[in-house]
Structure 1
Amino acid sequence: MSRSRRKTPIVGHATCRSEREDKKLWHQRWRTRERIALASVSPEALSAYLSLLENQISNVWSMGKDGRSYWSIKRQAATADRIANHKGRNLQECASLKKRLLRKWMSK
């Protein structure tokens, strides 16, 4: 996977890297409530049963990421250039830092 890269540069607004734990909790709650609801419904009323909605279990806005946005390659290069010029001590260090940042951001 060292050569894998993003096909579309869309990134999430967050302090966390992924919402994996939030999604696991949501699915666990949803399955539990669905199991309880199905156990309480009579076999005659089973065909009229409606599944629970996502919003009834959890709020998407309370999860780790607040949304996603498109981060173009041009803007990534400009940001990497600005950071590299600020942190680098010489031209070679600036160039390698910029290259490292772009590879980091374009990886999955």
Structure 2
Amino acid sequence: MSRSKRKTPIMGHTSCRSEKQDKKLWHKCWRSKQRMALRSPHLLDLEAISPILEDEVSNVWAMGKDGKRYFALYWQKDLADFFAKRRSKNQSEKIKLEKRYLHQFMAK
């Protein structure tokens, strides 16, 4: 996957790279509530058991990412140019940095 390329440049509004930890906590809490519901005394009455809904356990707005947005190619180019200008000392270094930033934006 080192050469994989993003087909549609849609990225999350965030400073974190992933929601892995948030999802792990959510699933842990959800599974424990499901276990408690199954251990309840009214287990023989199957109609009384209701599934635990996602919204009862967590809120997606409290997780690390806050939605997604289309990241157009011209925005990527402008942002790469901006970062490269700030970090480079000469023109050849700026071109190399800009190319590296564009590669990072397009990678999965």
Structure 2: runs of 5+ lacking an equivalent = none
User: What is the TM-score normalised by the length of structure 2?
Assistant: 0.88
Which contiguous aligned blocks of 4+ residues in structure 1 show a shift greater than 6 angstroms?
Answer: none
Q: Which amino acid aligns with 1:103?
A: H
Match of 1:14 in 2: 14
Corresponding letter in the other structure for 2:37: A
Alignment RMSD: 1.4
Runs of 5+ unmatched residues, structure 1: none
- In structure 1, the partner of 2:66 is 66
Hey, which of these two has a bigger chunk of strand by percent?
A: 1
Q: Deviations over 1:26-55 (max 9, x none)?
A: 011101101111221322x21453211111
For 1:93, the equivalent position in structure 2 comes to 93
Give TM-score, length-normalised by structure 1.
0.88
Q: Distance in 2 between matches of 1:24 and 1:86?
A: 37
Tell me, in whole angstroms, the C-alpha distance in 1 between the residues paired with 2:104 and 2:37.
Answer: 46
Identity of aligned residues (%): 50
